[in-house]
Copies of this chain bind each other. A is one copy, B any other.
Amino acid sequence: MAAKHLVVIGGSAAGPKAAAKARRLDPHAEITIVQQSPDLSMASCGYPYYVGGCFDDRNELLCTPTGVVRDAKFYANAKGIRALVRTRATSIDRKGHQVTCQDLGTGETLVLPYDKLVLATGATAVRPPVPGVELEGVTTLQSMQDADYLRRLRDEGRIRRAVVVGGGLIGVETCEALQLAGIGVTVVEMLPQILGFLDAELAALVRNHMLAKGAGVRTGEAVTAFVGTEGRLTGVALGNGEVLPCELAVVAVGVRPNSELAQAAGLPVGQRGGVLVNEYLQTADADIYAAGDCIEVLHLISGARVHAPLGDLANLQGRVAAQNAMEGNHARFPGTLQTGVCKVFAYAAGSTGLNERQAAAAGFATVSMLTAGPDKPGYMGANPLIIKMVAEQGTGRLLGVQCVGPGDASKRLAAAAMALHGRLTVTDLTVADLPYAPPFSPAIDNLIVAAHALENKMAGRLTGIAAAEVKRKVEAGEDLLLLDVRGQDEYELMRLGLGEVLIPLGALRRRLGELPADKGKEIICFCKISLRGYEAATLLQAHGWTNVKVLEGGLAAWPYPRG
């Protein structure tokens, strides 16, 4: 039998993974990677950390754990894979089973026959059609060359001010990187909030942290032009007419799938521009698979097709595509939870599954709870963590979990993602057996605390109210009582300052007489994290007050200025 020819187009994440897996499955196959860029297997998620100076050797982004750079020679010797770098695939002849490529160095044309083809063409950073986008000083952070450019700027130390256009995950990571590089940074986001994978109240907490760390954050502002002199950027103009002076602008407004090659070959592309594949990651052509940032996949909770350009998924998909290309369809990629996390200075922020906005948009009747608490026992040096858990009303099925704060968010997101994979309910989570020891978590893990609170809410034991709603009511002058049940000492240190009354929980039983005689009056109880607030609410309800609420997350999750 003749050796099978596998051609993989794309050499960043999904492509090399597919090629390497294919090699392990079939040591005799002829495997070729076609890669447009000069580099291979770039750890592109690491670019911000290279730019920010977390490490200095560019090769660390390209090498194996033992320090060998994954170049064409490495692929040839260690893997028996031919890697053609600086080579662009220009067309696919599906009938003839061959890919035409151009060597970007020599301009020569190559024709590669294939038995199976894997498309891993990735995605391209969107550059908004805004005047001045071609100015020197306007860049993206998507390619190794972008990373090299920004790192050089850092090392030269001449840039003083930068604007990051786009407050998504990459924008926020880039903001931190530039600030670490000693550059003053402002993030400009067109939407009313940063980090669209979060609900607004959590995004606001992250924004506050960025501001506290000295970064500028402008939400709800469109960039209308990049302005400059002599071809060099000098500022970014906003919709309100303001110009933010800067010598550098990094555009991070999202990516779109590189699906032109597939489209030109007649392969169907979805509404988000990604190549359409089945659960085996097979395109409409049985001999062509696709993986990574160039495809659309199913969202495991909403069932909708989404574009989920995430490095970890690209690797998992590359492996699945290779298995099916080499052995026939048997390995499935069922879909994504769009799990994402990022470091933002001392915070981590992430989400898995649907946030409440997305869940509502997907047609779910949702119930949610926001809780705050330390991520370890206090005596072990805990850090706060804010969790928002979203479930389906009625069934209690978990729909999504968001975590932000200085605490260990990534652990809770990993556990929550597995809970979503297992289709667990909130009640399942209330009795989950997670690893407990004081160096690692509180006796009741934050994720379980969130489930307890959400279960209480679903059972009607607790009526929560979000910070935004409290703020709205206060600003509208509604007739309500804000009841702080913390200790006097805590109150002296920090308070809401919106006209609240302080009655410490320990004194509340004997001071009920100080509360409104009108038992129907709206009373909003809170403390630092609203656990004591919840206890106060149950006490008031037991004594006849009928309109008692608990501020979700308490003062720890209050994202607005305090009075």
Instruction: Point out residues on A near B: beta carbons under 8 Å.
Output: 13, 23-25, 27-28, 43, 45-46, 49-50, 54-55, 57, 60-61, 63, 65-66, 68, 74, 77-80, 173, 300, 310-313, 315-316, 319-320, 331-334, 336-343, 348, 350, 352, 373-374, 377-380, 408, 410-419, 421-424, 427-428, 430-441, 443-445, 447-448, 452, 461, 486-487, 490, 505-507, 509, 528-529, 532, 534-535, 538-539, 541-543
Contact = CB atoms under 8 A, between A and B. Distances in A.
Contacts of A506: 68, 74, 77-78
B343 A440 contact: yes
A542 B74 contact: no
A69 B63 CA distance: 53
A204 to B, nearest CB: 21
B424 A43 contact: no
Contacts of A380: 46, 49, 54-55
A428 B418 CA distance: 10
A539 B29 CA distance: 12
Given A411-B410, A528-B66, A377 B46 contact: yes
Given A50-B379, A336-B433, A417 B415 contact: yes
Contact of A418 (B77, B422, B487): B422
B435 A46 contact: no
A3 to B, nearest CB: 11
A57 B378 CA distance: 12
Nearest to A43: B377
A427 B333 CA distance: 10
A378 B65 contact: yes
Contacts of A448: 316
Nearest first, the 3 closest Cβ-Cβ pairs linking A and B are: A422-B422, A27-B542, A418-B418
A533 to B, nearest CB: 12
A560 to B, nearest CB: 22
A410 B444 contact: no
Contacts of A313: 433
A47 to B, nearest CB: 9
Contacts of A452: 319
Given A25-B461, A45-B437, A333-B431, 12 more contacts: A23-B535, A23-B538, A24-B534, A45-B436, A49-B380, A50-B379, A316-B448, A331-B430, A332-B427, A343-B440, A416-B418, A417-B435
Contact of A316 (B57, B431, B509, B541): B431
Given A43-B377, A60-B379, A443-B43, A417 B432 contact: yes
A540 to B, nearest CB: 9
B444 A315 contact: yes
B433 A339 contact: yes
Contact of A414 (B310, B350, B411): B411
A443 B379 contact: no
A77 B509 CA distance: 7
A424 B539 CA distance: 42
A173 B507 CA distance: 40
Contacts of A408: 411
Contact of A55 (B79, B333, B379, B414): B379
B542 A435 contact: no
Given A77-B506, A433-B313, A441 B410 contact: yes
B77 A312 contact: no
B411 A352 contact: no
Contact of A435 (B54, B414, B419, B541): B414
A384 to B, nearest CB: 10
A315 B449 CA distance: 11
Task: Give the interface centre of A436, A528, A542 by most chain B CB atoms within 10 Å.
Answer: A436
A539 B310 CA distance: 31
B436 A312 contact: yes
Contacts of A435: 339-341, 350, 352, 410, 413-414, 417
20 contacts: A28-B542, A45-B436, A54-B379, A54-B380, A74-B506, A312-B436, A316-B444, A316-B448, A340-B436, A341-B435, A341-B437, A411-B411, A411-B415, A412-B414, A414-B414, A414-B415, A415-B417, A417-B432, A418-B422, A422-B423
A370 B538 CA distance: 50
Contacts of A422: 418-419, 421-424
Given A43-B443, A45-B438, A78-B535, A379 B61 contact: yes
Contacts of A443: 13, 43, 45, 311-312, 315
Contacts of A434: 312, 339, 413-414, 417-418
Contacts of A416: 418
A494 to B, nearest CB: 12
User: For A310, A316, A423, A445, which residue has the most chain B Cβ atoms within 10 angstroms?
Assistant: A316
Contacts of A419: 418, 421-422
